[in-house]
Chains A and B, each alone.
Chain A
């Protein structure tokens, strides 16, 4: 035990003495949360919208005010005719034009029905979809308001869209779990594989092997510091998500942390596995980045929904561990479900961990090759 603690102490010295390691451990998670949160926001904020109001009545004014005051849109121009639409969109500041038909207000009151068109700049499909969705939602909301007052026959315009769990479709609800998933697997697998191959590369492994240390002691000694630091990392990310973006953990925090520990363990065992098959740090970094980063981003459902993928990728994604953790963490954080709904994924992760550890211990070389 004393040997083991001595080893762990040495690992901590390695980590704290190397600023680059520290930066990767704590700088990157914070940076990624902030970048994903602010820069690569999937929400729209102050998108330029022009209005073509052919009716100019009380209701169109109210509705356009409501749209602008939502905070998502900013009025760029008031147009006078259909001919201006093309021009104003080409300028680029305006992402969409909202058109109220002639006699909009009167039609709405008399016939209980009025048309509103949204012409969005399709060259930016993401923004266009978002703008139409947001506008639709605002108009629906407006309808509801009307329903309570003058007109009794409720729904007037366009289909009903309602977002469960994330009513405003705020994207940090999506990316915080995604970033946790990505960062944990990267840091745990990358760091452990690098730190073990570093011993090989510097020749210190040779001396460790000729010592009474058992392979289990070497591996656990390497992994324990990273387990502790990764766990601190998760707490840091959750705190950041809470304080900066106001993202709560809906489900049980204890369950979330327990599942996270399982995932950290899985990632660490994957890192050990990588280190047993690579003999240089460069090799380990390469395998970790190509073998883990890309699949995690592309195939885990973090950014691209798995349901939308061709079935081949769907099958491939079955062996990507983050896929399961994303389901788990989203369920707990956003939907607030309990173990009942995620036991299957938990079991798969646990099984993967066991397999990785078993292979690593079998493959760990007690001699030089």
Chain B
């Protein structure tokens, strides 16, 4: 089966900083593939290389069966790209923006209207409004419509949900889900771990290294230890107390609670009394399931050159 994206050992440096080191992965056709990682992890650089906007210093990359270095002209006809920051013409109206991108790609709004209908219908009532005067969520819908108007085979979305409210974010992912029926491969990056669950597969990326590539479920299952959640009214004090204990391996804040791992993977018998010594009387401890974020933190902690190799091996096995 042909891969939508196939890369091997991509490296990219900017001066002394390494943006991407030895990135190898592949994306299947009509898959929703997510890049998850904090700011500065190298997500944008990777997306720019995939969209032929940048060349890697070394390594091979094929997108939709075409070489990014030599066949970029043909490739650019089949990619829909939505950059990280809003990059439509603010002084053009909603309608004019959409029409402009349609003509640039040699098509018309009418021709592919059914593809964008679900998204564009939300903003169509405001089609005479200048794009610069739209709200964040509406801008994002317009940008997605523009990126889709030529029915691309690959849709690349760089942090589409950053700076958008929670409701619009959820709506946005619903829309992406609906696009599956058109067999469009979707590549999306996000700093929000909770969005990872809505992808078919995700790649965790940190400091230019791929930490893991798998389905969101498998990524969670990869968590190596038993995880416990500890709750207390004073979360800050609780973390300090937990970190001071000999039995604690890691402890990170997670929503209302603190996620902790202990030596021997079980709750220390005298945990409550140890915490009481530090003035915490209301601690409630129970075992919990690891999320993507827990796995990410775990990978970050152990990430070294050796670890990168094992992830690569894992990717190859798939």
| A210 and B79 within 8 A (CB) | yes
| A206 and B87 within 8 A (CB) | yes
CA distance A9 to B95 in the complex (A): 14
Partner of A367, one of B52, B79, B83, B89: B52
CA distance A14 to B96 in the complex (A): 11
CB-CB < 8 A to B106: which residues of A? 2-3, 212
| B103 and A368 within 8 A (CB) | no
Map CB proximity to B onto A341-369 as digits: 1 under 8 Å, 0 otherwise.
Answer: 00000000000000000000000001110
| Given A3-B104, A3-B106, A10-B100: A210 and B53 interface contact (C-beta under 8 Å) | yes
Main secondary structure of the interface of A (DSSP, over half): helix
Map CB proximity to A onto B93-121 as digits: 1 under 8 Å, 0 otherwise.
Answer: 00010011101111000000000000000
| A206 and B53 within 8 A (CB) | yes
CB-CB < 8 A to A206: which residues of B? 53, 81, 83, 87
Q: Tell me if B124 is interfacial: C-beta within 8 Å of chain A.
A: no
| A368 and B104 within 8 A (CB) | no
Number of interface residues of B (CB under 8 A): 30
Query: Which chain A residue lies CB-closest to B79?
Result: A210
| Given A206-B81, A211-B76: A3 and B103 interface contact (C-beta under 8 Å) | yes
CB-CB < 8 A to A307: which residues of B? none
Choose among A3, A13, A18, A210 the residue with the greatest number of B CB atoms under 10 Å from its CB.
Answer: A210
Q: Number of contact residues on A: which range applies?
A: 20 to 34
Map CB proximity to B onto A195-208 as digits: 1 under 8 Å, 0 otherwise.
Answer: 00000001110111
CA distance A327 to B83 in the complex (A): 49
CA distance A7 to B89 in the complex (A): 12
Min CB–CB distance B85 → chain A (angstroms)? 5
Query: Which chain A residue lies CB-closest to B51?
Result: A210
| B52 and A10 within 8 A (CB) | no
Q: Tell me if A6 is interfacial: C-beta within 8 Å of chain B.
A: yes
CB-CB < 8 A to B86: which residues of A? 203
| B105 and A207 within 8 A (CB) | no
Partner of B76, one of A13, A202, A210: A210
Q: Tell me if B54 is interfacial: C-beta within 8 Å of chain A.
A: yes
Min CB–CB distance B23 → chain A (angstroms)? 18
Q: Tell me if B90 is interfacial: C-beta within 8 Å of chain A.
A: yes
CB-CB < 8 A to B96: which residues of A? 10, 13
CB-CB < 8 A to A255: which residues of B? none
Query: Which chain A residue lies CB-closest to B100?
Result: A10
| A207 and B81 within 8 A (CB) | yes
Q: Tell me if B77 is interfacial: C-beta within 8 Å of chain A.
A: yes
Choose among A9, A208, A212, A368 the residue with the greatest number of B CB atoms under 10 Å from its CB.
Answer: A212
* Chain B interface residues toward A at CB < 8 A: 48, 51-55, 72-73, 76-77, 79, 81, 83, 85-92, 96, 99-101, 103-106, 146
* Chain A interface residues toward B at CB < 8 A: 2-3, 5-7, 9-10, 13-14, 17-18, 202-204, 206-213, 366-368
Given A10-B96, A203-B83, A212-B76, list of 14 further CB < 8 A pairs?
A5-B103, A10-B92, A10-B100, A13-B91, A204-B87, A207-B81, A207-B83, A207-B101, A209-B76, A210-B79, A210-B81, A212-B77, A367-B53, A367-B55
> Please, could you name 10 A-B residue pairs with CB atoms under 8 Å apart, sorted by A?
A6-B104, A7-B100, A18-B91, A203-B87, A204-B88, A206-B83, A207-B101, A211-B105, A212-B76, A366-B72
